[in-house]
Amino acid sequence: MPSVPGQSHVLDVHLDPSALAEGLAMEARTALTSRPKVLAPKWLYDKRGCDLFDEITRLPEYYPTRCEQAILEGTAAEIGTLTEADTLIELGSGTSTKTRVLLDALAGAGTLSRFVPFDVSEPTLRDAVSTIASAYPGTLVHGVVGDFEQHLELLPTGGRRLVAFLGSTIGNLEPDQRKKLLSELAGGFGPEDWLLLGTDLVKDPARLVAAYDDEAGVTAEFNLNVLCVLNDALDGDFRPERFSHVALWDPGAERMEMRLRSEATQAVTLGALDLSVHFDKDEEMRTEISTKFRRGSLEAELFDCGLGLARWWTDEDEDFAVSLWELT
């Protein structure tokens, strides 16, 4: 196990603010000049977006976070026993709050020696690394600032690793993106490494739509906030009040989509890109997809990436699944 005597935490930064800004500029130009317009969901999560999403997770309509947490609380000890992991890696870790149940289980089993939170936000990760290091003395907290679509090969190696990819974040990726990420993960796995995956399951579309279009309007505010992100980062003049939040179920792809619909014919300027963007009345820009899964198709998808199912857990109503995978 790599460690430094007397050191409780370290931080590797592979994505600095300038690189993040360049990435947004490139993606925004492509997204806003395409037909249809499609913006990657990761840009929803600036500081305001993260705060709003945290609020969303506590809404009565939004079941995934509660279901996943309940499953983890009921299975964490079993996960620790099965994996005997000494290293927990969390992709898209954020504040790492929900991961504590896994950290507690591994610490309780006497195996935990390293935690690797991986996230795109350096300020959030710095806070989380310091907080977790204080809460788990004797555990090396090795934070990694990066984009899991670009920097997976830079994850720390060694030890018996449990990689947690929770919150059904995998569903925010297109099928080819999912295959690339999962294949890269599997390609870097050794025989003692495991993947713990959280996935939302297919269910009544009415419940799904309600979860993405809550009565209080928090999800709408979260979605519209991405226009403020573009304004701030790219000297834009989007007027959020001229757009409306749309949440719909795509039965063919079995996924939810969030979009922003232009309420009128309008032009938007992004000064930093020297770009003027035209929106027709009722034209929509997609800002997020959230695929919902079935066990059989998920098994086939991960098997194609070199991973086999070891355990499958759901809540009582089978709304959400947490699953454990190993190399085939």
- Is the distance from CB of 59 to CB of 135 less than 8 angstroms? no
> Which conformational region is residue 145 in: left (phi greater than 0), alpha (psi within -120 to 50 degrees), or beta?
beta
- Please report the pLDDT score of residue 97 as a whole number: 83
Containing 247, the helix (H) or strand (E) segment is strand 243-250
> In the structure encoding, which two tokens stand for residue 277, read together?
């963007």
- Please report the pLDDT score of residue 4 as a whole number: 45
- Please report the pLDDT score of residue 124 as a whole number: 84
Rounded CA gap, 113 and 109, in Å? 11
> In the structure encoding, which two tokens stand for residue 242, read together?
């001229």
Low-confidence spans in the chain with pLDDT less than 70 = 1-7
Q: Which amino acid is at 307?
A: L
> In the structure encoding, which two tokens stand for residue 307, read together?
């991973």
- Please report the pLDDT score of residue 7 as a whole number: 59
- Please report the pLDDT score of residue 5 as a whole number: 45
Q: Which of 159, 103, 141 is nearest to 11 (CA)?
A: 141
> In the structure encoding, which two tokens stand for residue 110, read together?
């006497």
